Structure 1
Amino acid sequence: MKFGLLGTGPWAEMTHAPALQAHPDVQLTGVWGRRPEAAVSLAERFGARAYEDVDLLLADCDAVAIALPPDVQAPLAVRAAEAGCHLLLDKPVATTPAAAAQAADAAARNGVASVVFFTLHFSEPTASWIREQANVEGWLLGRADWLSPVFGGSDSPFADSPWRREKGALWDVGPHALSVLTPVLGEVTGVRAARGPGDTVHLALRHESGASSTVTVSHTVPPAMADVTAELRGSTGVATLPVRDEPASDAFARAVDALLESARTGTAHACDIRYAARVTDVLALAEEGLKSD
């Protein structure tokens, strides 16, 4: 499958481009970015062509992988779907329900497959753990915390990201936390949000199964307290999310596999654009709740 890569930042350079170049069933056809010089550099490094016109790249591809800020990604996903390209997107797919719905509608209308890269669903052993817990009945409580020092004194390559500074951890890693809880406890039917120090946000969630859960996310914790944890409690006991121990590029290669399979079979993936749009809906409700906090 011929892939175009949209985006030239650290995530594209460290994860998307290496995985696409190495995948045996993929040809990395071209790269487009908002900075043409960066697109040239990335394309040369990974043996692809740099495109100045994104629509020309879409016309030359079967699929696109997008590594761009969500509110840049969403309208490009619509254009890609309308050009007949399958979609491998990043989370969040958008930061407004309307933009997410437009992208999901475009994918459905044009019959293209979609996968959104919720990292824990494609990394091991976390992906297997989520699937296993979804098959267990009786969960009553859940918790998912994603505490990162991106703006808390680390040397993260994402510290210069304008959209992350604007939208904070709620939108950047909140999707990851929700992606652990909702496949097991069910869709969110109610949400309350409260602010903590820095960009920390706490969520209290009700789920359609009757279970409840909490989420805490932050990009402003000191490095010493950074952690990613999740647990479930119910009639069978306690289950704790295992530590993810592989490069993100390996996980992204599995997301590519998932898109190829969905495109081949016509079967929607669990992490498709419709699921990602529902995640955006929950985060938008939380953001609205924070305005009165």
Structure 2
Amino acid sequence: MATHHKTRIGLLGTGPWAARTHAPAIAGHEGVEFSGVWGRRPEAAAELAGTFGTKAYEDVDALFAASDAVAFALPPDVQAPLAVRAAEAGCHVLLDKPVATTVEGAREVAEAVEAAGVASVVFCTLRFAPPTASWIEEQTAAGNWFLGESHWLGSLYGPGSASPYADSPWRREKGGLWDVGPHVLSVFLPVLGDVTDITAAAGPADTTHLILRHTSGATSTATLTLSAPPEAAEAALTLYGTAGKTELPRWEGAAAAYGAALDALTSDTPHPCDARFGLRLTEILTEAERLAAGA
């Protein structure tokens, strides 16, 4: 993304995720200018903009006009049509995962991005957090993997949880499959190849169990939930192959990862975790949801 000035990036969204991750990362990034905030609640947009020294917009199209790129911290099916509008306005887009919870919605975003010729990045934390991003690159280059095993046991809805994200209606409706499933898939797909076959079954509460076959011939498993007891919460992923086994390294928070995603968006080199990849994630999750429901 060649520019002669700092890239102007606006933020759409005012919830806890926007306030704790997106806004601080944009405001603290030396290579970008925080061009403004828009939200569905104007008073929340004004408060967030005031905190980070930027302008609040009540008209989202005005924010598009004042920005070279926009970042999204919105529910997926609110995000998708606004991302189409942003791309059509010539803005590069930094999307949250999942891009949408319908294949049609995610496809419209990917096609709008491609038609407009703008850059896109989907923020899957593990693809951008420095320890995990480099590990993914190393394992992709190594190849010869036989099996992947993963579990992401979130406790968002576990007993005694006081998480600010528990009030998210879309997370409560769609569960761990859609919230943390994209993180696991964002590792397995580059390392093991695209998914060619899916088996899915429902577990306790919102838990989903997946068995996946990949183009490399490897298989992978994933257990995904937001309802684990806090004492059992854990995210882990292991690969097994001809060189033995290797485990996904630990990472700390999302701040550094989001900064790296901003770097990727403003780079002249397209990132593979883009809107088209986001569409593929939605296709896989949609089929897994159908199978887990016994449809």
Q: What is the Cα deviation at residue 68 of structure 1?
A: 0.3
Q: Show the counterpart of 2:259.
A: 253
The one of 198, 203, 225 aligned to 1:196: 203
Cα drift, residue 110 of structure 1: 0.3
Equivalent residue in structure 1 for 2:222, among 215, 223, 226: 215
In structure 1, runs of 5+ residues without a counterpart are none
Aligned residues of 2:239 and 2:247 also touching (Cα < 8 A): yes
- Distance in 1 (alpha carbons) for counterparts of 2:65 and 2:144: 49
Asked if structure 2 preserves the Cα contact closer than 8 Å seen for 1:32 and 1:54, the reply is yes
Contact 2:198 / 2:212 at 8 angstroms: preserved in 1?
yes
In the alignment, structure 1 residue 170 sits paired with structure 2 residue 172? no
Match of 2:100 in 1: 94
- The correspondence for 1:284, drawn from 268, 283, 286, is 286
Cα RMSD for the two superposed structures: 0.9
Question: Which residue number corresponds to residue 4 of structure 2?
Answer: none
Match of 2:270 among 268, 273, 288: 268
Matching residue of 1:12: 18
Q: Secondary structure at the match of 1:282?
A: helix
2:166 to 159, 168, 193: 159
Match of 1:120 among 121, 126, 131: 126
Q: When the two structures are superposed, what TM-score results if normalisation uses the length of structure 1?
A: 0.97
Give me the whole-angstrom Cα distance separating, in 2, the residues matched to 1:112 and 1:197.
42
Give 1:127 deviation, angstroms: 1.1
- 1:23 aligned residue (11, 26, 29): 29
Q: Deviations over 1:96-128 (max 9, x none)?
A: 111101000000000000011100111131111
Structure 2: segments with no counterpart, 5+ residues: 1-6
Deviations 1:119-175 (A, max 9, x none): 011113111111110011210100121111000032211011111001111100000
Whole-angstrom distance in 2 between the partners of 1:210 and 1:107: 32
- Matches of residues 67-146 of structure 1 in structure 2 within 5 Å? 67-146=73-152
How far apart in 1 are the matches of 2:132 and 2:265?
19
TM-score by length of 2: 0.96
- Deviation of 1:268 after TM superposition, in Å, equals 2.0
1:3 paired residue among 4, 9, 13: 9
- The Cα shift of 1:234 comes to 1.1
**Partner SS, residue 140 of structure 1:** strand
- The answer to whether the Cα contact below 8 Å between 2:205 and 2:227 also exists between their aligned partners in 1 is yes
User: Counterparts of 1:209 and 1:92 in 2: how far apart (Å)?
Assistant: 25
**Alpha-carbon deviation of 1:63?**
0.2
Which contiguous aligned blocks of 4+ residues in structure 1 show a shift greater than 4 angstroms?
none
Q: For residues 249 and 189 of structure 1, what CA distance do their matches in structure 2 show?
A: 33
| Number of aligned residues | 288
Matched residue type, 1:89:
L
Identity over aligned residues, as a percent?
A: 58
Amino acid at match of 2:233: A
Aligned with 2:227: secondary structure? coil
Q: Which residue does 2:241 correspond to in 1?
A: 234
The answer to whether the aligner puts 1:46 opposite 2:52 as a matched pair is: yes
Aligned to 1:55: 61
